[in-house]
Structures are given as C-alpha cells and as structure tokens.
Homo-oligomer: A and B are copies of this chain.
Amino acid sequence: MSENERQTEEKIFESATEVFLKKGMDGARMQDIANHAGINKALLHYYYRTKDHLFNAVFEKIAGQMFKKFAPVLDENHSLEEKIRFFFQEHISFLQRNPRLPVFLINELNRNPERIKKLIKNLDINKLWSTLEKQHKEEFVKYNITKETIPQLMTSIAALSVFPFMAKAVISGLMEKMGYDFNAYLEARKKFAADFVIKAITK
C-alpha cells in the first residue's frame, strides 16, 4: 500500500525532525525517534539506511527553509525601507513558528564545517548583491550604505532577527524575572528592529 508507505516515511521524517531539533545529531537516539514515530527501530534503517542519512535529510530541508526566507526580499519591487520592514516581519514570524531552528543550524554547522561550503554553494551571493545594488543605487547614497559597510549591515539585520531565538532561554528567563512577556517582546520586535535599522542607516 503506497499510501501507508508514504505515511510511515512521513511519520519517521517528522519524528526525526522533532528529535534532532531538540537534541542535535549527537544527542539524538535512533530509539527515541522510533518510539516517537510509534514504530520499530529496524524500520528506521529500512527507510533511511543510517543515522547519517536520516540526519542529512532532515538537515537539508531545515537549512533550505531557513535560507529561503532571505531571498524573496529581492523579488519585490519595493523601496529599501519597505524591504527591511518586510524582512523583519516575515523572518521573525517564521522563527516564531520554528523557534528551535537557529540553535540547531548553528550548532550543526559548527560541528560539521564541511556543510557550510555545500550550503553557500547554492546561493550566489555576488549576484544577490549586484541585484540589490542595481535596485537601490540612489537609496544607498541617500542612506549611509557603502560597499564596505554592506557586510556589517547585512549581519546586523540578521543578528537583530535571529539572536532572540538563539538566546531565547536566557532572554525569556531574564524577562520573566523583570515582569516582561517574551511573546509580546517578539511581537514588538518586528517593528522595533525595522525602525532601529532604518534609523541607524539614515544620514
């Protein structure tokens, strides 16, 4: 029954994703994943031959999701300011639905540096940059953006969006102690971060 088969594979993949996200490659146990999927451990190996195979499948999908979110900024025909607002809105919303993603990714990329080249190979950063430059040449002059500060700006934007999820444990712990609500903080951050960046780059 091909339908059952697909259901099983999907269930395995879902369970593996959940366990790997929570425990990482080293911490995850095949038995855990099997239990979580309600199947026998041997069945895992039947569908995905080894732990590495299974992990790679999960990692590939997750990494793809994460980086895809950076791209659509380019497609739109909006102003730079609109793009920045759009990015924080979309990216933080995405991370709200997948809060464990950043820690997982960073950690696994750190554990296995070879993955990075593979990841980077897929996105042509030079083309991305030249597109941006073409679209916003006048705006870059209007704002405080030069070819030299581009990496600083890009990483700052990424940092403001991703960091709260990486340090979620610490931040939410501190906030609880001060009477703030972490979810409200995240919601407010979509606007705050955008304002923050725009203000910072305005001449």
Residues on A facing B (Cβ under 8 Å): 23-24, 26-27, 103, 106-107, 109-111, 113, 116-117, 119-120, 125-126, 129, 149, 151-152, 155-156, 158-160, 162-164, 166-167, 169-171, 173-175, 177-178, 180, 185, 188-189, 192-193, 196-197, 199-202
Question: A178 touching B126 by the CB < 8 A rule?
Answer: yes
A109, A152, A202: most-surrounded residue (chain B CB, <10 A)? A152
What is the oligomeric copy number? 2
Question: B185 touching A196 by the CB < 8 A rule?
Answer: no
Question: A155 touching B163 by the CB < 8 A rule?
Answer: yes
* B residues in contact with A152, CB < 8 Å: 185, 188-189, 192-193, 196
Contact of A125 with B174 at beta-carbon distance under 8 Å, contacts A103-B107, A166-B106, A200-B199 already known: yes
